[in-house]
Amino acid sequence: MALVLAASGCTSRALPDSKENEMDGSLIEKAFLYGYGPYEFSKTAGAALARGRAQNTLGHRTAMSGPKNRSVTAPNIDTLYSSAFLELSGGPMEVLTPEAPDRYHCVTFMNTFTDNFGILGTR
Protein backbone atom coordinates (compact mmCIF):
# COMPACT_ATOMS: atom_id res chain seq x y z
CA MET A 1 0.00 0.00 0.00
CA ALA A 2 2.84 2.41 0.79
CA LEU A 3 4.35 1.87 -2.65
CA VAL A 4 1.09 2.79 -4.37
CA LEU A 5 0.71 5.95 -2.29
CA ALA A 6 4.30 7.04 -2.98
CA ALA A 7 3.92 6.48 -6.70
CA SER A 8 0.66 8.40 -6.86
CA GLY A 9 2.44 11.57 -5.77
CA CYS A 10 4.74 11.56 -8.81
CA THR A 11 4.09 13.89 -11.71
CA SER A 12 4.16 12.72 -15.29
CA ARG A 13 4.87 16.07 -16.90
CA ALA A 14 8.42 16.96 -17.82
CA LEU A 15 10.21 19.74 -16.00
CA PRO A 16 10.99 22.80 -18.12
CA ASP A 17 14.49 23.06 -19.56
CA SER A 18 16.74 25.47 -17.74
CA LYS A 19 20.22 26.50 -18.84
CA GLU A 20 21.04 27.18 -15.20
CA ASN A 21 20.44 23.52 -14.30
CA GLU A 22 22.39 22.00 -17.19
CA MET A 23 26.02 20.97 -16.80
CA ASP A 24 28.30 20.90 -19.79
CA GLY A 25 29.56 17.33 -20.32
CA SER A 26 33.05 18.57 -21.11
CA LEU A 27 33.13 20.49 -17.82
CA ILE A 28 32.26 17.34 -15.90
CA GLU A 29 34.95 15.42 -17.80
CA LYS A 30 37.57 18.08 -17.05
CA ALA A 31 36.59 18.15 -13.38
CA PHE A 32 37.11 14.39 -13.21
CA LEU A 33 40.39 14.42 -15.16
CA TYR A 34 41.91 17.21 -13.10
CA GLY A 35 40.37 16.27 -9.76
CA TYR A 36 40.61 12.49 -9.51
CA GLY A 37 44.43 12.21 -9.40
CA PRO A 38 44.85 14.74 -6.58
CA TYR A 39 41.91 13.15 -4.74
CA GLU A 40 43.48 9.67 -4.90
CA PHE A 41 46.90 11.04 -3.95
CA SER A 42 45.45 12.90 -0.98
CA LYS A 43 43.52 9.81 0.12
CA THR A 44 46.64 7.60 -0.11
CA ALA A 45 48.94 10.09 1.63
CA GLY A 46 46.35 10.85 4.29
CA ALA A 47 45.92 7.15 5.10
CA ALA A 48 49.70 6.63 5.35
CA LEU A 49 50.17 9.70 7.56
CA ALA A 50 47.25 8.62 9.77
CA ARG A 51 49.03 5.28 10.32
CA GLY A 52 52.04 7.17 11.68
CA ARG A 53 54.17 7.68 8.58
CA ALA A 54 56.10 10.94 8.75
CA GLN A 55 56.54 13.26 5.79
CA ASN A 56 60.00 13.31 4.17
CA THR A 57 60.74 9.83 5.54
CA LEU A 58 61.00 6.60 3.56
CA GLY A 59 58.56 3.86 4.47
CA HIS A 60 59.67 0.38 3.37
CA ARG A 61 57.72 -2.73 2.43
CA THR A 62 59.39 -5.86 3.75
CA ALA A 63 57.58 -8.36 1.51
CA MET A 64 56.99 -8.66 -2.20
CA SER A 65 53.82 -7.04 -3.47
CA GLY A 66 50.85 -8.83 -4.92
CA PRO A 67 47.62 -7.80 -6.65
CA LYS A 68 45.99 -6.85 -3.33
CA ASN A 69 48.80 -4.40 -2.45
CA ARG A 70 47.49 -1.78 -4.81
CA SER A 71 47.49 1.81 -3.60
CA VAL A 72 47.31 3.92 -6.73
CA THR A 73 48.90 1.79 -9.43
CA ALA A 74 49.33 -1.96 -9.81
CA PRO A 75 52.71 -3.04 -8.36
CA ASN A 76 55.31 -5.36 -9.84
CA ILE A 77 55.12 -8.68 -7.99
CA ASP A 78 58.92 -9.12 -7.87
CA THR A 79 59.82 -5.70 -6.47
CA LEU A 80 60.37 -4.38 -2.96
CA TYR A 81 58.93 -0.89 -2.63
CA SER A 82 59.71 2.12 -0.49
CA SER A 83 57.82 5.38 -0.62
CA ALA A 84 57.85 8.87 0.87
CA PHE A 85 55.58 11.89 0.77
CA LEU A 86 57.86 14.88 0.31
CA GLU A 87 56.69 18.20 1.75
CA LEU A 88 58.06 20.86 -0.61
CA SER A 89 56.26 23.95 0.64
CA GLY A 90 59.52 25.13 2.26
CA GLY A 91 61.43 24.87 -1.00
CA PRO A 92 63.33 22.26 -3.03
CA MET A 93 64.63 19.07 -1.48
CA GLU A 94 67.70 17.07 -2.51
CA VAL A 95 67.26 13.31 -2.91
CA LEU A 96 70.44 11.22 -2.95
CA THR A 97 70.66 7.59 -4.06
CA PRO A 98 73.46 5.21 -3.03
CA GLU A 99 75.98 3.87 -5.52
CA ALA A 100 74.86 0.38 -6.54
CA PRO A 101 76.40 -0.29 -9.97
CA ASP A 102 75.63 -4.04 -9.93
CA ARG A 103 72.00 -3.69 -8.85
CA TYR A 104 68.97 -2.30 -10.59
CA HIS A 105 67.26 0.40 -8.57
CA CYS A 106 65.23 3.47 -9.28
CA VAL A 107 63.59 6.32 -7.45
CA THR A 108 60.53 7.46 -9.35
CA PHE A 109 58.96 10.84 -8.67
CA MET A 110 55.19 11.08 -9.01
CA ASN A 111 53.12 14.26 -8.80
CA THR A 112 49.62 14.58 -7.37
CA PHE A 113 48.17 13.77 -10.80
CA THR A 114 49.95 10.36 -10.54
CA ASP A 115 52.23 11.29 -13.46
CA ASN A 116 55.87 10.19 -13.23
CA PHE A 117 58.05 13.21 -13.91
CA GLY A 118 61.52 11.99 -12.97
CA ILE A 119 63.53 8.83 -12.34
CA LEU A 120 66.89 8.47 -10.56
CA GLY A 121 68.87 5.23 -10.57
CA THR A 122 70.44 2.64 -12.83
CA ARG A 123 67.58 2.65 -15.31
Q: Dump pLDDT digits (tens) for 17-71.
A: 656 556 677 888 899 989 998 998 889 889 989 999 899 998 888 888 777 776 6
**Reduced to 3 states, what is the DSSP secondary structure of residue 50?**
helix
* Confidence band of 122 (pLDDT split at 50, 70, 90): confident
Query: 34: Cβ–Cβ under 8 A, 6 or more apart, which residues?
Result: 113
pLDDT of residue 15: 57
pTM recorded for the entire structure: 0.64
Q: Is 99 helix (H, G, I), strand (E, B) or coil?
A: coil
> What local confidence, expressed as pLDDT, does residue 90 receive?
94
Between strands 59-60 and 116-121, the pairing is unpaired
Look up residue 12 and give its DSSP letter: -
CA–CA distances in Å: residue 60 to residues 5, 10, 39, 64, 111: 59, 57, 23, 11, 20
- Of 68-72, 81-85, 88-92, minimum mean pLDDT range: 68-72
Of 81 and 68, which is predicted with more confidence? Answer: 81
For 73-95, b/e burial (b = at least 16 CB within 10 A) is eebeeeeeeebbbeeeeeeeeee
Q: Give the pLDDT score at 22.
A: 62
Query: What integer pLDDT is reported at residue 59 of this predicted model?
Result: 87
pLDDT(12) > 70: no
- The whole-chain average pLDDT of the chain stands at 79
CB 20: neighbour CB atoms within 10 A?
4
